Structures are given as C-alpha cells and as structure tokens.
Amino acid sequence: MTSSRGALAPASPPPAIDRSLADRLAAIVGDKRVLFRPSELLTYASDALPSYHKQPGLAVFPGTRDEVVAVVRELARSNVPFVPRGAGTGLSGGALADGAVLVGLNRLTRVIAVDPENLTATVEPGVVNAALSRAVAPHGLHYAPDPSSQAACTIGGNVAENAGGPHCLKYGVTTNHILAITALLPNGEIVSLGSASGETDGYDMVGCFVGSEGCFGIALDITVRLTRNPEAVRTILADFLSLDAAARAVTSIVATGIIPAALEMIDQATIRAVEASIYAAGYPTDAAAALLIEVDGADAGLERDVATIESICNSSGARTVRVARDEAERARLWQGRKKAFGAMGRISSHLVVQDAVVPRTKLPEVLDKVRRIGEDLRLRVANVFHAGDGNLHPNIAYDANDPDESARVQTAMHAIMRACVDAGGTITGEHGIGIDKLQYMDLIFSPDSLAAMCSLRDVFDPDRRSNPGKVVPMHSCREWHGARSARQDAAKGPPVA
C-alpha cells in the first residue's frame, strides 16, 4: 500500500489554484463563502502560534455537511491540496495552508443529537468545545476535555489535535472521549469509524483517526462521550517558596491514589503577570510557585481528600494552603490559570508557548534546567502547566521585532525540547506537531517509526493532499524499506522515546 514516490509531498506539483477553481467552489457554497483575494486571506495566514505566516491560496467555508463533501470531492477531482481548519486556535501551525485551499469548518455548528441516557452527543466538527458543554448542561452533563481555548476551539479541531486541558489528568484526553466518527477521506469517500453503541471488531479506527492533525481527512460528525457533572468540587490553592517543593508536592499527591481533577502549577513570573492583569486571581505575588489543585466527585469522602492534600502540601513546605470558599472564588482562581497566557501578553508584544511532557518525577530537574536556559539566554521564561501529567508549558514573552531576542528565543525553545527529551519525555503533550514541531520528530522517533507513520497516512490519503507537509517530516516519507533500515537503526542504538 505504501506508495513508491520519493521524498516530496504532495506527489505532483499542485495545480494552479485559480479563478476557475474559486468559481467551481463558489457554485457549491456561494460567492461569499469563497475568499480569493490576498487581503481577505491574510486573516488565515496564522493560527494561535504567531511565529508562522503562510497564506492559503484560497479559503472556502462550507455551511453544511453536503457542502463539505461536495467541496472535498471537487478538490479531489482537481487534485488540489487542502487544509481543514476549525477555529484556528491551534498552537503548532497545524492549520496553516501554504498556498493550499483552506477548508474552514467553523460554520458546521450543529449539535446533531444528545443522548443523556447513554451519555453521548453527536456533533458537527465546528461545534465549539464550551458550547457543547453548555448544550448538555441541562442534563447535568459536560464534555470533559477542556483546552484553555475552549471558549473558541472546535470539537473537530480537538479531534484533529487530540486536545487536552487541565481536567484531562483525571478524565483523559480527547481520544478517551470519542466513540465514533463519520470521516470524509481526502478522495471524497465517506467512512464510518468506531461505534456509538456497543463494541466493534477490528482495529481501533477512532483511536487511529484522533490526533491525525487533519492528515487523514475531515470528521463530518463526531460522537463524544459526555461526563456527569460531579456532585461536589473543591479547589485548593497552595503556594510555595521554591519550585522544587511544589514539584515534590505534586508527586506526593498523585502517589496517594487521589486522582485530582486538575493539578496545575503556576510559577512566580506567571503569577506576577496574572496579578497585574484584569484576570487577577489573588495569587500571592511573592511565592515561587503556586499549585492549583481541584478534586471532584461524590461528596462523601471528598473532604478527606482535601485534608490529605492540604497535609501533603504543608509537609512539602507550602507557605499557605487555602480552599476556595464558594463558586465565585473558585472561578476566580481558575480564571487566573486559564487566562495566564493572555495576561502574559501585557508584558511583551509576543509570546511563545512551548508544550512538552516529562515523567512526573523529573519535574524538579527539568524545571531547573529550563530556568538555567532562560538565564543563560537572558530571557524571561515563565511556567504555567499541567503538573499532574508532567505536561510543561514554558512560555517566553519577547519582542518579535527584535531579531537578536527572537533568535535567542528559538535557541531556548530547542534547548528546552532537548532537555525534556533527555529526561525521557516527549515533544508535545497536547498542542500537536503541526509544522512547528516537525524539526523535533527525529529526536524521539527512528526513521522506521516515522516511515510507519507515513505509510499509515498514505492509507487515508495516498495523494498526500490533506494538510500536506504536517506531522511527519517529508524526508521520512520514503519507501518503507523495513529490513535494511532496521539494521541501520540497530547500529545507531535505540530511539530516544
């Protein structure tokens, strides 16, 4: 099945994206829903990662499932590469369309069905994450994965990226919540993956599709698992005079068997940015780090868990530990965390957010390395992250118009990635590879592993037209030689991951 073409993808040079294609697409979706002029396309040249600008050749915004199918089939007939896009809140450049057709799915916002008995909902890909939770709230349910961009990001985009969020520590990431997908393959074929009711035989096609970053096609509808709202929630803020003490508290809490709904760490630089902003949450500005810890579930026994966590924080050296007294205080504590990146925006004109995961016990060591990298390069590295999962988000506020500072930021990002991989970690926990992380794939995957991913992509998209050039570096997409390269790998030693 592996195609025999060489290193370049897509296979053939993309045909001109011209007025005639725009007209054919406009005949499907209407004139207003096709953007062709460079000035109109500027908006779509970036996602939420500001360091890349790639202008699409054309953008099309179908409004119904039938229009999506017709658009993709027209693109298949015309052999034109395309990039599916949800809300464009991604942080890895995954939705950038460099001269390709951008297919915006944000108009497909229908919640098709809610089944409160079976705790499922079926939605179109453009449904906004938080809107889905609002739609099912009357049933006492919510959709558990909660990326910080949940007020804007779409379920289709969440599926593509296998999005996470603070509450994934207890409830799992996107892939743990998707039961079935109707997928439109890049050649226009419609396939049904997984099952909304009962078990399926065969491969885990849903698990395979989730996290494929738009390279396997477009999800036309998605059946998600819904989660009951917990009976009770307690939110705790503990502040520490060293990052190390806070990191040790994290490990101790998880070791008790209590699985907090969320366990977030916020360092001093972030605390100060938040407290100086409109999102001020009452975090102590002189603390080296604060932990935002949430436990939820049945009322019975929850106070015991809170007491256990308080006691662990205290014995790990917490200066103060406080439990939010009411919903308003709880919301305020969370607002500071969720809007932390927004608050950082006050400090400098640009912000770059890194995403990596390390084994939880390596947090103190890696945080220390990150701090030293920042010091060596004279950069302000702040940390606000999912500590319970070991999912780091070091972020650097800088001025992108200063070439020297920009270069130092890039150097720091590389050094941080390397430190995380050296600690046994991975290069992305929830933001995806997109184009931004392509350069690091060789750090954790052997040529044969990358080639296996390429050949999997070729099953779904043999022409490599859907989100071309993302996830797997092009040089890996050669014929899968298997035996020969496996021996070469053996000579080089095991891959890092």
- Between CA 280 and CA 415 the distance in angstroms is 31
Q: How far is the CB of 148 from other proteins (least distance, A)?
A: 15
Closest CA relative to residue 83, chosen from 455, 357, 471:
471
Residue choice 7, 66, 459, 492 for contact with other proteins (CB under 8 A): 459
Which tokens sit at 229?
Answer: 């709202």
Residues 178-197 that bind other proteins (CB under 8 A): 191, 195-197
d(CA 222, CA 105): 13
Selected from 167, 234, 330, 386, the binder of other proteins by CB under 8 A is 386
Among 182, 187, 200, 439, binds other proteins (CB under 8 A): 200
- Work out how close the CB of 264 gets to other proteins at its nearest, in angstroms, rounded to a whole number: 14
Q: DSSP string of 427-474?
A: S-SSS--TTTTGGGHHHHS-HHHHHHHHHHHHHH-TT--BSTT-SS-G
Q: Contacting other proteins (CB under 8 A), which of 32, 199, 328, 401?
A: 199
Interaction between residue 172 and other proteins (CB under 8 A): yes
Our CB check for other proteins shows the closer of 22 and 183 to be: 183
CB 387 within 8 A of CB 265: yes
Instruction: Determine which residue in the list 201, 401, 403, 404 makes contact with other proteins, applying CB under 8 A.
Output: 201
Q: Per rule CB under 8 A, is residue 439 in the interface with other proteins? A: no
Distances (CA, A) of 311 to 197, 261, 318, 320: 43, 18, 9, 11
Q: Which ranges constitute the DSSP H helices of 210-339? A: 243-255, 268-275, 302-315, 327-338
> How far is 440 from 433, CA to CA, in rounded Å?
9
Name which position in 86, 157, 166, 432 contacts other proteins (CB under 8 A): 432
Instruction: Kindly identify the residues of this chain, within the stretch 107-126, that bind other proteins according to CB under 8 A.
Output: 115, 117-120
Structure tokens at 156: 């289709």
Binding track, positions 263-302, relative to other proteins; x by CB under 8 A: ----------------------------------xxxxxx
Among 89, 391, 395, 467, binds other proteins (CB under 8 A): 391
Q: What residues numbered 209-228 form the site for other proteins, per CB under 8 A? A: 210-212, 215, 228
User: Which 119-158 positions form the footprint of other proteins (CB under 8 A)?
Assistant: 119-120
Site for other proteins in 50-109 (CB under 8 A): none
Applying CB under 8 A, does 1 fall inside the site for other proteins?
A: yes
Q: Judged by CB, which is closer to other proteins: 210, or 435?
A: 210
Which of 146, 128, 135 is closest to 87 using CA atoms?
128
Q: What is the DSSP string of 377-400?
A: TT--EEEEEEGGGTEE-EEEEE-T
Residue 231-270 contact track with other proteins, rule CB under 8 A, x = bound: xx------------------x--xxxxxx-----------
> Facing residues of 321 across strands?
238
Nearest CB to other proteins, comparing residues 57 and 93: 93
Dump the DSSP string for 167-217.
THHHH--GGGGEEEEEEE-TTS-EEEEE-SSS---S--HHHHHTT-TTSS-
Q: Which of 85, 437, 464, 465 binds other proteins (CB under 8 A)?
A: 437
